[in-house]
Amino acid sequence: MEASTSFKQELLLREYGRNVQDLVNHILTIQDRAERTRLSQLLINLMAKLNPQLRDTQDYQQKLWNHLFVMSGSQLDVDAPYPLSAMEYLNDKPQRMTYPLETPKYKHYGQNVELLIKRATELEDEKEREAAIISIGKLMKTLYRSYNKDSITDDVILNDIRQLSKGKLNMDLAYIESNNLFESNVGGSNRQDNQQRNQQQNRGGDNRNRNKNTRSSNQRNK
For residue 93, the model assigns a pLDDT of 58
Confidence of residue 55 (pLDDT cuts 50, 70, 90): confident
Question: Largest Cα–Cα distance of the chain, in whole Å?
Answer: 114
Per-residue pLDDT at 122 exceeds 70: yes
- DSSP 8-class letter at 96: P
Whether 140 and 160 have beta carbons less than 8 Å apart is answered as yes
Whether 7 and 16 have beta carbons less than 8 Å apart is answered as no
Per-residue pLDDT at 188 exceeds 70: no
pLDDT digits (tens, 9 = 90+) for 156-178: 999 999 999 999 999 999 999 99
Q: For residues 192 and 177, give the distance between their C-alpha atoms in angstroms, rounded to a whole number.
A: 17
Q: For residues 193 and 137, give the distance between their C-alpha atoms in angstroms, rounded to a whole number.
A: 23
Question: Would you say how long the chain is, in residues?
Answer: 222
Q: For residues 220 and 167, give the distance between their C-alpha atoms in angstroms, rounded to a whole number.
A: 72
> Average pLDDT, whole number, for the chain?
78
Q: What percent of the chain has pLDDT over 90?
A: 35
Whether 161 and 140 have beta carbons less than 8 Å apart is answered as yes
pLDDT digits (tens, 9 = 90+) for 56-106: 877 888 888 888 888 888 889 999 998 888 765 555 555 677 776 677 788
Per-residue pLDDT at 39 exceeds 60: yes
Per-residue pLDDT at 189 exceeds 90: no
For residue 102, the model assigns a pLDDT of 72
Confidence of residue 207 (pLDDT cuts 50, 70, 90): low
